[in-house]
Structure 1
Amino acid sequence: MKKLLPLLLFLLIPGFLSAKNYTVIDTTKVSFYYDYTFVKDTTNMTELRHDDMVLQVGSRFARFSHNFQVELDSACYIYRDYTFEERYKYIKDVFTLQGPSKYSFYTLYKDYPRKREYSMDFYINKNNIRISEPMVQGWNIEENQDTTIMGHSCSLATCHYAGRDYRAWYTLDIPISMGPYKFDGLPGLVMRVEDTKKQHVFQLYKIEKRKRKMFYVEHDKEIKANPEDLCGIFRNNIQKRYREITGGKKVQFDDPSLNSRLAIVINSYNNFIERY
């Protein structure tokens, strides 16, 4: 698999650096870093993957994405008027960071461009999918308050969202009604959230007070969709890529074993966080 990583990254670089329109929508006041631990393959429940996610909170808006995407957008904004080759020359060091997995290849905006609405930009197979949906979360507040996370006393809340049951621990010590991914709307910051089968877990591990620009990134070509459509697009893309690899029509390596190994990797992404 290690031999595949440089090739996969090289194939993704044009997408990372493609034409985009950057709008500065806010200034980040505080950033909350979460370790996102998940099971990507339901046929191998013991193999856990990790992604480094960050919630940027400003005065008016918030943004949630992979830390790699935050650093890349900041660099691309600085060199936005340069050519593709020049841009890559100046920001290539960003690619030494661990990039997002297929499940974390998105940017989620909260309250922007419309209040009480999520806008989600998801990158799938060279396509930018734009999703908008209301910020609605039906939480049930539990009575117990016996959990401490990073020195903060936390309360428990539960909800059902997009096909899974979740438990969330939030703290009143940080009166920010937000959390990782779409888990918002509680009286305080969500410190940890997990589905009841612990296949998708977000755990806060760092708080950073650092001012930096918060960007809204709009691509020249976007496909409008809803959350249910996204799950279908995700499944169809995996099936398409698998057929291309196993059929040998579009993708072929000199080493035949790489084809079979890549096919296994592609087919293993079958446990997206949302299920419709």
Structure 2
Amino acid sequence: MKKLLFVTFFFMIGHVYSQTIDGDVSSLSFQLIEKKIIDTAKVDIFYTLDFRKNPNKPDKISHAQTFLQVGNHCRCFKDYNEFLSDSVNDDCAVKSLSAMEGMMKYMSALKRRNYYKTILYGVQEDQLVRRHNIYPTIYEYSDSIPTFEWVITEKDSVILDYKCTMATCHYRGRDYEAWFAEDISMPYGPDVFGGLPGLIMDVHDTQFHYHFRLNGLYPVEHLQLIYKRDGEKVVSSTRSRCRKIYKHSREFPAQAMQQAFPNDKLTAEDIAQIKPKSYNPMELK
């Protein structure tokens, strides 16, 4: 099993480094990430995400730092630490730093990543482009842009010094409550949420399994690209197939690992140690 874990680790960072034939770690180097540039960001909107991977353990909460890049004609929502690790990688490549010199900084950002989707608006007409990283494969598919049937209530509150109003809706198996600020005239929000007469400051399902809260909004004063990675293995898929693959990877992780790494033979002892993982996707339907 130790060999498998070693191979898995280097597969995870393999898209970053080029390796010599003898496998000498000290000779690994950073390479610029190939990108398909979609737009340039004008505004960055940050949201913390608290979520419960296991619905049967409500006290165990996971965290992620996400952000929404708003460009001239496109938007991108992803984990901020994925963006940060890409930036660290490219900075190390430009400076010709060795893997040993930049590894700690790169891995520090990468290990904090905890939201494994990328959602792109404006790439396809009337469609979202979604990418879901189900290790070790990235699945990409088109999805309809949601039309939320928001019910705007009379409840109000103040969030980060902005007067907010609450709205409710039902979306793909969950009931949601959202607080939006009309004084910030952007009809956007985290993940796929939006369509309200103001920026969404806080949105959560009524069970608080997924809770997004705004924690930063900044104009972008330097060149910041909105992009998706190019030159790496991305599998074209559909939403229904991607959901099945993700559920299988959680319920039968040993089988999923065997399919991903067919050359690494797992022993019966290895398989017994790989336990099923909890399955609690944000979209239940």
TM range, smaller chain: 0.7 to 0.9
CA-atom RMSD, angstroms? 3.4
1:31 shift after superposition: 1.1
Of 156, 159, 162, which aligns to 2:166? 156
Q: What TM-score, normalized to structure 2?
A: 0.78
Matched AA of 2:116: F
- Comparing 194-203 with 148-157, greater Cα deviation is found at 148-157
State the distance in 1 between where 2:213 and 2:144 align: 24
CA distance in 1, matches of 2:244, 2:95: 36
Q: Does 1:108 align with 2:93?
A: no
Does the Cα contact within 8 Å between 2:15 and 2:232 map onto a contact in 1?
no
CA shift in 2, pair 1:251/1:54, >3 Å:
farther
Q: Is the 8 A contact 2:249 2:256 kept in 1?
A: no
The offset of 1:204, in angstroms, is 0.7
Amino acid in the other structure paired with 2:227: F
Structure 2 counterpart of 1:13, one-letter code: I
2:12 is aligned to 12
2:184 equivalent to 1:174: yes
- The one-letter code sitting in structure 2 at the alignment partner of 1:272 is P
Counterpart among 223, 227, 242 of residue 239 in structure 2 = 227
Whether 1:165 aligns to 2:175 is yes
Question: Residue 95 of structure 1: SS of its match in structure 2?
Answer: helix
Aligned to 1:273: 282
Bigger shift: residues 7-16 or 55-64: 7-16
Contact 1:244–1:250 (CA under 8 A) maintained in structure 2: no
1:144 counterpart SS class: strand
Deviations 1:206-240 (A, max 9, x none): 22223322222234432222322222110112233
Note closer, same or farther for the CA distance 1:199–1:186 as it changes in structure 2 (3 Å cut).
same
Encode CA deviations 1:50-99: one digit per residue, 9 max, x unaligned: 1111111122211111111111233445567999x957854651221242
- Which of 62, 66, 79 in structure 2 is aligned with 1:49? 62
Q: State which structure, 1 or 2, has the greater radius of gyration over its C-alpha atoms.
A: 2
> What residue identity is the alignment partner of 2:284?
R
Residue 123 of structure 1, CA deviation: 1.3
Task: Give CA-to-partner distance per residue, 1:97-131, whole Å, 9 cap, x none.
Answer: 24223xx11211111x2133211111112111002
Structural mapping, 1:77-156, within 5 Å: 77=90, 90=102, 92-97=104-109, 98-101=111-114, 104-111=115-122, 113-156=123-166
| Cα separation, partners in 2 of 1:208 and 1:49, compared to 1, 3 Å | same
Does residue 58 of structure 1 match 2:71? yes
Partner of 2:45: 32
Shift, 1:9, TM fit: 5.8
Alignment TM-score, normalising by the size of structure 1: 0.80
The structure-2 alpha-carbon separation of the partners of 1:9 and 1:66, relative to structure 1 and needing over 3 Å to count, comes to farther
Q: Secondary structure at the match of 1:183?
A: coil
My pick for the range that moved more, 130-139 or 171-180, is 130-139
Q: CA 1:171 to 1:116, structure 2 compared with 1: closer, same or farther past 3 Å?
A: farther
Check the 8 A contact 2:250/2:277 in 1, yes or no. no
1:214 corresponds to: 226
Residue pair 1:139, 1:186 contacting (<8 A) in 2 also:
no
In 2 relative to 1, CA 172–115 (structure 1 residues): closer, same or farther, beyond 3 Å? farther
Q: Which moved more, 1:90-99 or 1:51-60?
A: 90-99
Aligned length: 260
What is the percent sequence identity of the aligned residues? 22
Q: What is the rounded CA distance, in whole Å, between the counterparts of 2:93 and 2:142 in structure 1?
A: 26
Q: Is the 8 A contact 1:73 1:215 kept in 2?
A: no
Closer/same/farther in 2, CA of residues 170 and 153 from structure 1, 3 Å limit: same
Letter of the structure 2 residue corresponding to residue 191 of structure 1? M
Contact 2:202-2:212 at 8 Å conserved across structures: yes
Q: Tell me the residue number matched to 1:192.
A: 202
